[in-house]
A and B are shown apart, each in its own frame.
Chain A
Amino acid sequence: SYVLTQPPSVSVAPGQTARITCGGNNIGSKSVHWYQQKPGQAPVLVVYDDSDRPSGIPERFSGSNSGNTATLTISRVEAGDEADYYCQVWDSSSDHGVFGGGTKLTVL
């Protein structure tokens, strides 16, 4: 089965740039979606199709995807960005959805 690997945690100071990676075999050939989840809440889509942003999501959130790694980049990090972030793809070979293990973003 297809596996997505994320670092368990990323820490960044306010105003700096956070990069959260999502590794998978030839993930560059898939559409990657990113979700933000705060405690006690349902996930919220922040980036879809590798690099597109839903309406209402700040431009500070961006994404890229190439080779075996997709990356969510959060520029000018704010305290309110502290949350868990999950990448997700659809594995067409198995007709299954797949989530990464999640990354806890801590704003120092």
Chain B
Amino acid sequence: QVQLVQSGAEVKKPGASVKVSCKASGYTFTSYYMHWVRQAPGQGLEWMGIINPSGGSTSYAQKFQGRVTMTRDTSTSTVYMELSSLRSEDTAVYYCGRVQGVIMPIDYWGQGTLVTVSS
């Protein structure tokens, strides 16, 4: 069965970086794109970017350009999202979600990773 398993919760200080992983199983890793979406406490879903695990190409939301990097490791079927220069407003649950094509829906989501930024 399809599973997206994310890494555990993180606590970071302002200015630091965080790297969240999303390990895929149960399907052909390179056949599906992966979105990253975050949700601040009590807020809505916010799209961060997308990566094509096949070639590694990415597209990032303007808001995160220069601070976010999405990568993949095809040998372990894992995608990564690294966010740098963290500030308190980055405190959120970060989700990965797979799509078969960019206009298609997210049919499977990871369980979410809570990143807390606090001094």
Over the window 29-60 of chain B, the binary record of Cβ atoms lying under 8 Å from chain A Cβ atoms (1 yes, 0 no) is 00000010100000011110010000000010
State how many residues of chain A have any CB contact under 8 Å with chain B. 26
- By beta carbon, the residue of chain B nearest A89 is B103
| Residue pair B103, A92 in contact (C-beta under 8 Å) | yes
- Give the CA-CA distance A31 to B102 in the complex, in Å: 11
State how many residues of chain B have any CB contact under 8 Å with chain A. 22
- Give the CA-CA distance A49 to B61 in the complex, in Å: 22
Residue numbers in A under 8 Å from B104 (CB-CB): 31, 48-49
| Residue pair A54, B59 in contact (C-beta under 8 Å) | no
- Give the CA-CA distance A96 to B68 in the complex, in Å: 14
- Give the CA-CA distance A43 to B6 in the complex, in Å: 15
| Residue pair A97, B110 in contact (C-beta under 8 Å) | no
| Residue pair B45, A54 in contact (C-beta under 8 Å) | no
- A86 → chain B closest CB, angstroms: 5
| Residue pair A97, B47 in contact (C-beta under 8 Å) | yes
- By beta carbon, the residue of chain A nearest B57 is A95
Which one of A30, A42, A98 contacts B95 once the chains associate, using CB atoms below 8 Å? A42
The interface of chain A, by Cβ under 8 A from chain B, is 1, 30-31, 33, 35, 37, 42-45, 48-49, 54, 84, 86, 88, 90, 92, 95-102
The interface of chain B, by Cβ under 8 A from chain A, is 35, 37, 44-47, 50, 59, 61-62, 95, 97, 102-107, 109-112
